[in-house]
Amino acid sequence: MTNIATARETLALARSMGVADFCVCAGSRNSPLLAVVGAAISFVDERSAAFFALGRAKRDRRPVAVITTSGTAVAELLPAAIEAYYSATPLIFITADRPARYRGTGAPQAIEQVGIFGVYAETDAATWSRTRALHINVEFDEPLIDDDTEGGLPAGPLLVVPPPRTSGRAGSPPSFSKPLVIVGGLSPDKRERVRHFVNMLSAPVYAEPLSGLRESLDGIRNERMLARGDFDGVIRIGNVPTLRFWRDLDERFRDLPVVHFSDLPFAGLPRGDVYPIDALPTNVEPRPRTDDFLARDQEMSSRVAALLDDERDSEPAMLRDLANRIPANARIYLGNSLPIREWDLVAPRDARGFELDANRGANGIDGQLSTFFGWCVPSASNWCIAGDLTTIYDLNAPWVVPQLDAEFRIVIINNGGGRIFSRVPSLAPLARDVREHIIENTHSLRFESWAAMWGISDRVIELRPDSEATSRFWSKYDELWR
């Protein structure tokens, strides 16, 4: 079979598995694939391409393919493969390779590509679970273009994509008499099922922003209240939570039983069985809501609001004001840990029709802007809220902007470094210069020239919180809970 015939067959296989979008990266070894792929989205960097594909696959809930040349270009796909693994997002990596006779020789552009992604990708298209990346490695020998390339790749019908396979325990999950319910990220098709269960159970519930239920459930508003409740167990529903309290379950509350309902197979803790969301009970006895506890939560919310009014130049107050200005029904991508947690604390809870997303599978900060661009919808108002270091990690992401047909805004919260680390208690003993200059990466960079270079100055909003006001806010906030 010629290289061109092999390329056509490989791309047709991807299409048969539901691929509509191909993200392509420059190279010579992959030129047979590029010659016949037809319409595609072009990238200068493989890592950015893979994260864009991740965002697009999340948006459309169908596989997206990335085509790369050989060598280290393949290795650039690993961060997105990891995120896809922990978020059960279907990606297809089509990587060109030199013939097998070059493996282990140290020849140029010849690395060990087979199995390079380890557990984070599958390699058999026939048994692909669609819960992680599929790696298709294709060898091309010289001459690379060895057949007629006219006509490109026949479009063909896109097959209906089956839902990803989910895993979970069989049998009946345990029940608690005084449970706390924590709802993490949920796909839209699961939200009504979860809302029905939570309302039927009538137990205290904390719904994170990524659940899509934060504004529609009468739940706990302050994460720190969770440590003060009298609970005999935790029912976690959806993806692994981003809450600090979740980590406390493995540190301060190790004796509190936890049961998980998730369509991902990950407990996020060293304990507790995982059941699929569809295993949520359909008939349960309502649990006590502990109105005194909820009234205390409401009182603390009022005090937090007053703190925000007192420190209008602090980072949380700026984010609250921004959230109030974002138009209804906007799509909002939260680009790293601090915006997610601050949004949870200060964003309005009235029903605004927001759709939120984030990369929280591995809690990394790389590829966030690229993921956002892939997630953008042409007919919507798309917003990305990212920190300064997160933006620095993905400075070449706007390469794809001229190929997009979508309105977007990027809000950069520039607080001069990774300030979330200043609030990590275990780092407090470190010397200040080590913490600030190595861990927090303090800086005085601004993003005007970066936005101008990419021609997106009118779409970038840079917020510069006052550091002293932010410190005062958090000091007062901590004092509320003492």
Model pLDDT, residue 88: 94
First and final C-alpha spacing in the chain:
72
Domain 179-285 classified CATH 3.90.1170.50? no
Task: Print burial letters for 393-403: b (CB count within 10 Å at least 16), e (below 16).
Answer: bbeebbbbeee
Start and end residues for every CATH 3.40.50.970 domain found in the chain: 3-139, 311-480
Beta carbons within 10 angstroms of residue 197's beta carbon: 20
Work out whether the CA dihedral 25, 76, 16, 355 comes out positive or negative: negative
Q: Round to whole Å and give the CA distance between 107 and 101.
A: 10
Work out whether the CA dihedral 143, 148, 151, 154 comes out positive or negative: negative
Start and end residues for every CATH 3.40.50.1220 domain found in the chain: 179-285
Q: Is 224 exposed, middle or buried (0-12, 13-18, 19+ CB in 10 A)?
A: middle
Q: What are the helix (H) ranges across 150-223? A: 188-201
Domain spanning 311-480, CATH architecture: 3-Layer(aba) Sandwich (3.40)
Q: Round to whole Å and give the CA distance between 325 and 320.
A: 9
Amino acid letter, 331: R
- Is 370:51 a contact under the CB 8 Å cutoff? yes
Model pLDDT, residue 157: 46
| Nearest CA-CA partner of 182 in 141, 235, 232, 219 | 235
DSSP 320-339: HHHHHHSPTT-EEEE-SHHH
Helices (H) and strands (E) in the chain, counts: 15, 16
- Continuous segment of H or E residues that includes residue 474: helix 467-480
CA atoms in the 13 A half-sphere facing the CB of 137: 21
Amino acid letter, 440: E
| Nearest CA-CA partner of 249 in 275, 222, 278, 229 | 229
DSSP three-state, residue 139: strand
Structure tokens at 396: 């070449």
DSSP 345-364: HHS--S----EEE---SS--
**pLDDT tens per residue across all 482 residues of the chain:** 899 999 999 999 999 999 999 999 999 999 999 999 999 999 999 999 999 999 999 999 999 999 999 999 999 999 999 999 999 999 999 999 999 999 999 998 899 999 999 999 999 999 999 999 999 999 999 999 999 998 766 665 455 555 555 556 656 677 898 999 999 999 999 999 999 999 999 899 999 999 999 999 989 999 999 999 999 999 999 999 989 899 899 989 999 999 999 999 999 999 999 999 999 988 888 876 667 888 999 999 999 999 999 999 999 999 999 999 999 999 999 997 788 999 999 999 999 999 999 998 888 899 999 999 999 999 999 999 999 999 999 999 999 999 999 999 999 999 998 766 566 666 667 766 766 667 778 899 999 999 999 999 999 999 999 999 999 999 999 999 98
Model pLDDT, residue 58: 96
Q: What are the helix (H) ranges across 61-91? A: 72-75, 78-87
Please, what CATH class does the domain formed by 3-139 belong to?
alpha beta
Model pLDDT, residue 294: 87
| Nearest CA-CA partner of 414 in 339, 346, 473, 357 | 339
- Is 241:261 a contact under the CB 8 Å cutoff? no
